[in-house]
């Protein structure tokens, strides 16, 4: 199986400042991990184009995009204590949003079986109207909106340690886009309770599995089997988009989950069973320990290329089964 990986050099120039966890070295760590796993021949790297403005304003108001460009042009600044804009950030964010759209086109042309948008800034915390949590434009939402607007049924599964509040906000009332999140709770951004299930026509198409600190891979695998895969299959998506954040790794400096890189590879492999090859897209979100990010990148590219890559052992014995059961009761009773 072939894996297309989209990125752009501008994504390295988005400067968040000294000591910030969301830093350019993250992209280098992904590339290094793929090489360490012996998978360089399984991937093809491509350059991300700009996202068209109409795709951006289908998700965010034009004023948000314009204000971002103006802030970059004026030298940058902080949107909030975590979310920083530099002179190249607007250009990088537009490439990051364009990456997923271009991968969709390429997958539809049959160029690969799986696409991975390896870009920064990440996106899943950006709501329709608010940039936050290191995120400026919601990359996965731009791709999902484009697909849904032409009649596709989309499932987004967010495996970042932090709840994808922005993605949830954008699709909370949309019956054609399923949003599933597995995340540490309570933790930033303090959203993603199990009873947040969508509203109006979208009621039931938001699924939150709120994991306690210390949750391990066996709990996540049970969540996949008992909740995530069944609800995705029930939705019958034509496309699967995965917000692939690796900050649930036990080595990550800003979260308290207990996963290993091999756990991530197994989760992605489970999710890929829900849609055919050529309709599978990954988006880089969090992950701030560089070695953990490298190992996880190798594991998920292995899963994408149907190669068994196990940089670490799977993890077991943590809490969270009760939260899996709760989500099952809410959504599959």
179 DSSP β-pair partners: 156, 206
Burial 144-160 (b: 16+ CB within 10 A, else e): bbbbbeeebbbbbbbbb
Structure tokens at 240: 């699967």
- Using a 10 angstrom Cβ sphere, with 0-12 exposed, 13-18 middle and 19 or more buried, the burial of residue 307 is middle
Please say if 60 is a catalytic residue: no
Across-strand partners of 167? none
Between CA 88 and CA 240 the distance in angstroms is 30
Which tokens in the block code for residue 151?
């009649």
Nearest to 305 by CA among 285, 283, 277: 277
CA–CA separation, 212 vs 78, rounded Å?
31
CA-closest candidate to residue 219, choices 331, 330, 329, 314: 314
Tell which residue, 105, 106, 139, 116, has the closest CA to residue 14. Answer: 139
How many CB atoms are located within 10 Å of the residue 128 CB?
14
DSSP state of 85: E
Q: Given 8, 14, 124, 125, which residue is catalytic?
A: 125
> Distance between CA 88 and CA 25 in Å, rounded?
16
Q: At what angle do helices 261-272 and 290-304 cross, to 10 degrees?
A: 30
Distance between CA atoms of 127 and 150, rounded to whole angstroms? 22
The residues annotated with a catalytic role in the active site are 125
């Amino acid at each position: 199986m072939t894996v297309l990986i989209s990125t752009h050099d501008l994504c390295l120039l988005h400067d968040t400042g000294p000591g910030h966890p969301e830093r350019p070295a993250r992209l280098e760590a992904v590339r290094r991990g793929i090489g360490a796993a012996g998978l360089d021949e399984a991937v093809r790297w491509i350059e991300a184009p700009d996202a068209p403005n109409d795709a951006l304003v289908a998700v965010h108001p034009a004023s948000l995009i314009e204000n971002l460009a103006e802030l970059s042009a004026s030298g940058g600044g902080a949107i909030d204590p975590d979310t920083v804009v530099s002179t190249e950030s607007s250009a990088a964010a537009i490439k990051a949003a364009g990456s997923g759209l271009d991968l969709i086109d390429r997958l539809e042309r049959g160029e690969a079986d799986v696409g991975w948008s390896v870009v920064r800034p990440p996106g899943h915390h950006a709501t329709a109207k608010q940039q936050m949590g290191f995120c400026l434009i919601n990359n996965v939402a731009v791709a999902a909106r484009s697909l849904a607007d032409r009649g596709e049924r989309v499932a987004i599964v967010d495996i970042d340690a932090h709840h994808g509040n922005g993605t949830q906000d954008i699709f909370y009332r949309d019956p054609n886009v399923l949003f599933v999140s597995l995340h540490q709770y309570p933790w930033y951004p303090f959203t993603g309770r199990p009873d947040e299930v969508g509203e109006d026509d979208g009621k039931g198409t938001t699924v939150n599995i709120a994991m306690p600190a210390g949750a391990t891979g066996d709990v996540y695998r049970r969540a996949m089997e008992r909740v995530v895969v069944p609800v995705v299959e029930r939705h019958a998506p034509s496309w699967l988009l995965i917000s692939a954040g690796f900050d649930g790794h036990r080595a990550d400096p800003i979260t308290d989950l207990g996963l290993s890189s091999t756990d991530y590879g197994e989760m992605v492999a489970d999710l890929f069973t829900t849609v055919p090859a050529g309709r599978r897209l990954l988006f880089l979100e969090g992950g701030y320990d560089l070695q953990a990010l490298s190992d996880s990148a190798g594991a998920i590219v292995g899963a994408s290329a149907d190669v068994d890559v196990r940089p670490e052992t799977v993890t077991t014995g943590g809490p969270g089964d009760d939260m899996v059961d709760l989500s099952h009761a809410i959504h599959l009773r």
